Structure 1
Amino acid sequence: MKVVLLAGGLGTRISEESHLKPKPMIEIGERPILWHIMKYYSQFGFHDFVICLGYKQYVVKEFFADYFLHTSDVTFDLANNSMEVHNNYSEPWKVTLVDTGLNTMTGGRIKRIQPYIGDEPFMLTYGDGVCDVDLNALLDFHKSHGKTATMTTVNIAQLKGVLDINEDNMVHSFREKAETDASLINGGFMVLNPEVFSYLKDDTTVLEQEPLQKLAKEGQLMSFHHTGFWQCMDTQREMKKLEDLWQSGQAPWKIWEN
């Protein structure tokens, strides 16, 4: 199953860092947060990634093109024009990097990568948030209900999408969150069936608006409630929180050994 990562936005709320690089490339523990997300998925056996790029896309492409330079010790033999990689640990990843446009909205970016997905279900999340969601349980839940879309929901007071969910975990409505709300919010980490592409029109489509609202109205959007750790990185304060967790050795999303 492919994992789609949304990594093309401008990241204006953390502009102190994102004016130099895309927000998913901002580092936690000397590795881009995008890398952390991919490592997490990989621990559950998901190794095939499609990354939606836009703003400063070349930064992401250069990172993967020179992956060994970022992750391994190397020796350059200048006289013989050769490079030797030491202690090489190769991630079991296939990474497809797609230019989905500079100003394309989230739904439009997903629509543009449809040729790389085909007629198969896929996972989707944002390139700026980490968690300790049980991805196997998420996928099992998605398969069990047969609806078009499943989103992970978390109960954190942030400006994300608000959901009205019944006792059977069906989402009845979806709207943008107001500061006065204390409802469950959209935490990303979704599973989508290919039928979702029919809800996406063009580059102006915002996934979190009409598509999710329509899916909810039709009874095709389900909630996978996560009560554990979840944190997005919209601000410098949140970036520092994630960095402190990493440096403490107690980052909840770090479930790998190396």
Structure 2
Amino acid sequence: MTTTPSTADHIASTVKVLAFDIFGTVVDWHGSIVREMQALYPAVDGDAFALAWRAGYQPAMARVMRGEQGWTLIDDLHRSILDEILPRFGLAQLSDAERRHLNHVWHRLDAWPDSVEGLTRLKTRFTITTLSNGNIGLLTNMAKRARLPWDCVLSAEVFKAYKPSPETYLGVARVFDLQPEQVALVATHHDDLAAARACGLRTVYVERPHELGQARPKDGTPEPGNDLHATGMNDVARMLGC
């Protein structure tokens, strides 16, 4: 993607904090879950299992946002979805300990191959933080295992609101005592970026064509609303002069 130097230069000179979506943008949730299932339960279709688990994510958060249940950590939402889908995949017999271990696969997700290098480069010039619906414990454990070099771990848990609530995006600016335009969201999801942009943040799209697996390549067509469109994390660093 060709981005005009003036746009990249403007972001590099005015933005102080880069906030990163995590699931899909920084880590490969689908491939990680498939690999985990192949190791633990090889008879199960890991691809279908990963997609089914993730499919319950938005509806579960929506129930909380509608007030049908109280504030809930993503770990607990993941567990409730897991309990619901296990019988569908012939795993209804799993013990509580086995379910707990499997649920914590979200703490063990592998980074995309370029994530650590790209983030390390970006860290030399910007403050880099998570901005994820994942809870703090999950994000911290993930970072420790995958060696993700965050300066700060921010989560929906901090703001008691899930993305795309404005409270999350504007909350980053408040935490760092910045104006919204001094924060950029880096994500591979256009809806996340659109919500951030509506709050005044700058936006950087990162192509992750295999977020949903090799068989389901995502459409990476640039959207004009985003400030930058990058082919990967090192491309973000390149465009921002890191």
Higher strand share: 1
**More RCO (CA 8 Å, sep 6+):** 2
TM-score (normalised: structure 1)? 0.26
Q: Output the TM-score relative to the length of structure 2.
A: 0.27
